[in-house]
Every structure is written in structure tokens, then in C-alpha cells.
Amino acid sequence: MSYQFDWSQVWQHRDLILDGLLVTIALSVAALVPTLIVGMLIGTLGASTSRAGRVAAGLYVETMRNVPLLIHMYVWYMALAFLRLPAFLCAVLGLTLYSSAYVAELVRAGIAAVPRGQARAAAASGLRPWQVQVLVVYPQALRIVAPSLASLASQLVKDSSLASVIAVAELSYQAGAIEGQTFRTFEVYITIAVLYIALVLLISFAIDHVPGLRARRPIARIADA
Amino acid sequence: MSGSPLIVLDRVCKQYGTTPVLRDCSLAVARGEIVVVCGPSGSGKSTLIKTVNGLEPYQSGSVRFDGEEVGARGTDLPRLRARIGMVFQSFELYPHMTALRNVMLAQVHALGRSRAEARERALALLARVGLTERAEAYPADLSGGQQQRVAIARALALDPVAMLFDEPTSALDPEMINEVLDVMTALARDGMTMVVVTHEMGFARKVADRVVFMDEGRIVEDRPAAEFFAAPATERAKTFLSKIIAH
């Protein structure tokens, strides 16, 4: 067992790795934004008083979440072939549908954790239903689930590697390509592992510093009455 | 218009499934009048006052506020609610906002006041309830009594024509009850129309014009406060009074 590390091969292909990194970032951001929006909407529906709304939200969550992401990738890539959508968009779609189901569950739990009296009091003060949600319920619900949302965001970044199966040239795809040319398996995969770690840490750091999202204020209730 | 009552309930009935919560409740509250609603727990007091701002729907009868039918389909409930202040047993201050922002929120978003105007009004009201120094405090850092006074300021900030109080002192330690009752008494002296669900009979005796006594979803007595306290007409009210005044 005397493996000779040779990092020069990795360095030679640094442009490919950088390209892959940029695509991974683009893919993650492109999927994260609609994931959060769709997740918020479905989660709100799931927490609503309308039975039909809750059933619809439940159906969405169970179908999207219980299909492996790998299958999502293939299905949307194949199914939308006739639209000639770029693979990148199919990957965004697959990631969004899959991850938004998890976000929806988080949001639903967060909303359920906000005491109902809060929404009542807000409604009693003349706020309209959407204002009650946006001004009073969401800020509290999101604070409650912020740590879980952050870990979900990092999950999404790592999940984006599955887009490689539909030939989206993101980080893992490029790694495979370089490995195929150079046979420097360890060097290549160690490099991209480090890049993923750096990326996820960066995202966690960013989320921690979104004003208002960080649970600075413990939400104490009537406690000391 | 000022001659007709501000709040009129006419044979209001409500049930959860088959359990009746309100049975044929009729009540009229004139402008400037202070009505205390009391009765054993589960008698429907809270439900009754929440029909006034549409927080509790009802199955039959009618609730009118300033001539407008609360339960009618076309009624713009948010607009109507902005004219009725409400104070809850559990305060319900928004925990993610300072006291000041709690008092500003609906002014800006329900009434459309400018931030500067809302802020000025909020500070004036916080001063009125004696909490100028606590304007930047979060609810978690306030005592129960202080939280409830902020909640009263928040309701008053909308310049309501009537105030509803749902057991405003029930969640408070005894020594904090008076600071809240003092604010309410001052409000009553200023001529605010108030419907107050409370067990504070001392407060009722001092400021109420009328006392409404409820039992099992019915209004069993509705009489001038002095008469009610001198001699409740029903056996049920007598026992209730003797029980809560005994200790």
C-alpha cells in the first residue's frame, strides 16, 4: 500500500472544478429561493383551518417527499424532454419539489407552535388575514424553525450533487469527469469534499446573520404573570 | 344616532356541535356605558363578548355594532374590528416586537397611519398607562401587569369607539391586578364604552353602570350595578356572589 498523492492533476483541472463550483452555487441558489416560497405556501395551507387545504398540502408533502431525489431528477428530466428544457432547469425543478415538501412540514410545525391567541389578537386589531400571517405569525414561526431551515438549506446544497445524473455540470459531475481522465480518485474527491464543506459552512454562516432570523430573543410567553 | 345603543345583541344563539354555548342572549350597550359581565366559568361570558367583534361566529340571532350587522356576509370585519379595542386574559403581546412596536403595528397596517404619527401616538399612550420607560422593552422582559397595560395601550391606539375586556386580570398576580384596574377605571371615567368580563367585583361595584350575570349560556340577570350588588334577583347569582366575595 504505497499510494502516491499527486495533486498537480487536480490543479491542472482547476478551471473545471471552479466551473463546477459555480454551477453548484447557482443550482443551490436557484432551487433554494423557490423551495422556500413553495414551502411557505404549502406549509401555510397545511396549517390552515380549511380541511381541503390541509388534505391538499398533505398530498403534496407525501408525494414529493417520499420519492427519492434521484428519481425526481430522472423523472423531470425525461418527462420534460419534449419541452427541451435545459437539464439545469429540470434539476432546479426536482430539487424544489423535493425540498419544498420538507420546508412545508417545518413551516407547518412552526405555525402550529405559535399560540392561536396571537393570530386572534392580531385579527381583533383590524389586521387582514394576510397581514396577520405576514406580520405576526410568520416572524414567530420562522424564528422557531430557523435552525432546522438552516440545516435544510445545507442539505439542499449537498443534494444538488444528484443533478450530475442528468448531466448538469456541477461540482460532482466535474469531479467524475476529471477522475475519468486522470484516475486521481482520492485527490479529486477530497478536493470537492472540502469545497462542499466550505460551501455549507458559508451558507450556515450567512443564514445565522440574516437579520431577524437568528433566534436572539427567546420567545417567552406569559411566564411571569 | 347617539340615542341608539352602540352594541345590540338580539337573541344570539351559538353551539359547538350539539352543546349550546349561548342561548338567546340579548343585550344592549349604550355609548359611554360600562357593562360588567360575570358568571361561573363555562357560562359563555368570553364567547358572548367575542361575538361583538366577530371573533366568535354564532348560528342565529343578530349582533349589531354601531348599526352594522357583525355576522352579515358583506361586513368588512377587519375594518369593524379596528373600531373595537380588545384586551385578552393572556395579554397576547407580540413577543418579537418591543412594547412600542406592539402599539404601533395595527395603527400603521390597519389604519394606514404614517410611522411617525403611529410612534407619537404610541408613546403618548404608553405614557398614559405609565410605561414610558419601558417602550423599548420586549414583552418577555415586562411583568404581567406591565404587559397587560401595554395591551390596553395597543387597543386604545386605534381610537376605538368601544373596548372589550376578556378577563383582563385573571392571569395576573394579586399585586399587579390593581395597576391594570386603575388604568381601566381611568378609561371608564373618560367616557369609553366598555364591556368587561371579570370577576373583580370591587371594580364592577365602583365603575359599572350595569352588571350582566350569565349561567349556562343564558343571560340570567341584566340590571343596574347598584341593584345587582344590593340584591341579586336570582338564587344562582346570589350563590355565585357569595362564593366569589367570600374570599
Residue B75 belongs to a domain: yes
Q: Which residues of B are less than 8 Å from A128 in CB distance?
A: 78, 110
- Do B141 and B172 contact (CB within 8 A), yes or no? no
B92 has a chain A CB within 8 A of its CB: yes
| pLDDT tens sequence across A122-134 | 999 999 999 999 9
**Number of compact structural domains in chain B:** 1
Interval B49-65: pLDDT, tens: 999 999 999 999 999 99
Is B2 a member of any domain?
no
Residue B11 touches partner A, C-beta closer than 8 Å: no
Confidence of residue A220 (pLDDT cuts 50, 70, 90): very low
Of A120, A126, A225, the CB nearest to B106: A126
Residues of chain A with Cβ-Cβ distance to B81 below 8 Å are: 123-126
Expressed as residue numbers, the domain containing B185 is 7-245
Res A9 pLDDT > 90:
no
Alpha-carbon distance of A103 to A118, in angstroms, equals 23
- Contact A143/B143, CB-based, under 8 Å? no
Q: How far is A102 from chain B, CA to nearest CA, in Å?
A: 25
Nearest CA in chain A to B104: A125
Is A9 part of the contact surface with chain B (CB cutoff 8 Å)? Answer: no
Q: Which residues of A touch B169 (CB under 8 A)?
A: none
Residue-averaged pLDDT of chain A: 89
The answer, for B227 touching chain A at a CB cutoff of 8 Å, is no
Residue B39 lies in a domain: yes
Whole-angstrom CA distances from B213 to A42, B2, B11, B44, B74 are 45, 26, 16, 10, 32
SS3 A69: helix
Alpha helices in chain B (DSSP H): 45-52, 77-81, 99-109, 115-128, 144-156, 174-189, 201-207, 225-230, 235-245
Cell digits of residue B59: 348560528
A221 to chain B: which residues are within 8 Å by CB?
Answer: 90, 95
Nearest chain A residue (CA) to B105: A135
ipTM exceeding cut-off 0.95 for this assembly: no
Distance in angstroms (rounded) separating the CA atoms of residues B240 and B235: 9
Residue with cell 435544510: A152
Whether residue B1 lies inside any domain: the answer is no
Cell of B5: 345603543
Considering only A96-100, A150-154, B61-65, B158-162, which range has the smallest mean pLDDT? A150-154
Is position B171 within any domain? Answer: yes
Q: How far is A110 from chain B (nearest CA, A)?
A: 14
Is B55 in the A-facing interface, judged by CB distances under 8 Å? Answer: yes
CATH number assigned to the domain comprising residue B59: 3.40.50.300
pLDDT at residue B246, as a whole number:
61
pTM score, whole prediction: 0.84
Contact B88 A143 (CB under 8 A): no
CATH fold of A8-208 reads MetI-like fold (1.10.3720)
